Amino acid sequence: MKLAKIRRTIWISQRINRKLSSILVLILYLGIACQRGPDEGTFAYDVQLLNQVEDLLVLEDGNTMIALSPSYQGRVFTSTLGGMDGHSFGYFNRKHLLLEDVRHRLSSLGGESRMWFGPEVGKFGIFFEPGTPQTDSTISISPDLDTVLFAIEEQSRRSVKSGSRMHIRNASGTIFSIDASRRVTLLTRSEIEDELNISLEEDLNTVAFSAETWIRNTGQDPWEKEKGLLSIWELCCLHPSPGTTVIIPTRANPDSVTNYFTPLNESRIQIGEDMVFYRGDAQYMNKIGIQAEFCPQVFGSYTPETKQLSLVKYSFQDDSLYVNSQWGHTNPYGGDVINVFNGEVNAALNRAWPFYELETSSSARELQPGEELYHIQSIFHFEGEVEDLDGIARNVLGISLNDILIIPMLFNHLLNLRILVVDLS
């Protein structure tokens, strides 16, 4: 009888121990899950990284949010349309963000919206010291683009304006003394509809913001073509996917585009009737440009894997002076209005650009002392059913998503996969 009680006591004790072990494992699992933090690729993950930026602001309207720094020259790092757990659209250089001297290399940070000036190269380029041969190894960005911090000038719930005085030098020795200001505004759903002249379906998710830039000549002398001029250059770095296609409606039928850096073939670009299609997959370093005579006021990109449509709308003056940033050019004012950069990660070639970039430029003007140059670029993201996205593409870009000329591009991607499988076997 005593032996039976002892055995029963041992059995109960073993069950309790197993139960306690299960509870402890569950507690340990929950603790690890809580410590794991947000998933990479989400807005929350990026905000966690960006929290070391002293003046980081998150402007929000429901689930639409943008993360920006007024002091980092009015830079928008990223945006989302799905709240903290939603997809983070903008690319920024995480490694450089962690550097101790990050405030002395602002130009390398990237972001979904940042201020830049053109031209980069040529006799009026701001990438080179006067008298320096212009090669990859002698690039020296005008210092204030790396080091000048902006101060807040105005702020509201959905908008912030910041600015500072800057000095920009070019390769001919001209010094531009300017007041530079940036206003970033998170747009409401009704403002998005008004800007694009569309009506949005209730279940379609969207986020949009505008970035306005002013530069004022604070020097004593007027700016002259013969000494070089500046343009405002707005850059938008976005995360790519293998199927991302950039869509550029054209006002006429261009035979070609401005091509930078590397050769192009039909697997990467298609020039159709009143339309240019370009791969934004960050798997081949290249850049294209669209001249003023062909430019629309809106263009964008479509990613079928995630059912996301992005649009860019900007102020287009259709002027005659656009600075030229093509290497080896002979016409300093024969440049592009729209540029699209496609990055690449290739350690052997020292390429670490896992993004594609949508860019627009203002025209250049001979400013008198006290006169201003202005440029605005607005970014719109939509996520939802293909039918709803197709309606926006038809109304705004003048094309159905079903008509995008990506068949050669997808074929090339599948061919690359096949080659990879063969090589691995």
pLDDT digits (tens, 9 = 90+) for 27-83: 433 344 456 789 999 999 999 999 999 999 999 999 999 999 999 999 999 999 999
pLDDT over threshold 80, residue 8 = no
Dihedral (CA of 108, 111, 117, 123) sign: positive
Q: Of residues 387 and 414, which shows the higher confidence score?
A: 387
pLDDT tens per residue across span 314-345: 999 878 899 999 999 999 999 999 999 999 99
Provide the CA 400 distance to its chain's centre, in angstroms: 24
Does an H or E element contain 50, and which?
helix 43-50
Rounded mean pLDDT of 354-379?
98
> Cα-atom radius of gyration of the chain, to the nearest Å?
26
Question: Which positions ≥6 away from 195 have C-beta within 8 Å?
Answer: 187, 208, 313, 378, 380
Check residue 425 and give its pLDDT. Answer: 32
pLDDT, tens digit, 9 for 90 and up, residues 217-227: 999 999 999 99
Hey, which of 3-7, 93-97, 109-113 has the most confident mean pLDDT?
109-113
* Mean pLDDT for the chain overall: 89
- Which one is predicted more confidently, 395 or 422? 395
> How does residue 350 score in pLDDT terms, banded at 50, 70 and 90?
confident
Longest pairwise C-alpha distance within the chain: 110
Per-residue pLDDT reduced to its tens digit, 226-283: 999 999 999 999 999 999 999 999 998 888 999 999 999 999 999 988 999 999 999 9
Sheet of 64-69: strands edge to edge? 57-61, 64-69, 75-80
Per the model's pLDDT, the better-predicted residue between 240 and 413 turns out to be 240
Amino acid making up residue 204: L
State the burial class of residue 103 (Cβ atoms within 10 Å of its Cβ: 0-12, 13-18, 19+).
middle
Residue 130 is predicted with a pLDDT of 94
* Spatial distance between the Cα atoms of 114 and 233, rounded to a whole number of angstroms: 9
Residue 15 confidence (pLDDT) above 60: no
Among 3-7, 8-12, 34-38, 387-391, top mean pLDDT goes to 387-391
Q: Could you tell me the pLDDT band of residue 405, with boundaries at 50, 70 and 90? A: low
- Can you give the pLDDT at residue 319? 83
Nearest-5° Cα angle at 170, 169 to 173: 85
* pLDDT single digits (tens) 137-182: 999 999 999 999 999 999 999 999 999 999 999 999 999 999 999 9
Question: Tell me, what's the pLDDT at 324?
Answer: 96
The rounded percent of the chain whose pLDDT value lies above 90 is 80
pLDDT > 70 in the chain, percent = 87
pLDDT at 278: 97
pLDDT: which is higher, 372 or 24: 372
User: Residue 258's pLDDT is what?
Assistant: 96
Model confidence, pTM: 0.88
Torsion of CA 180, 186, 189, 191, to 10 degrees: -20
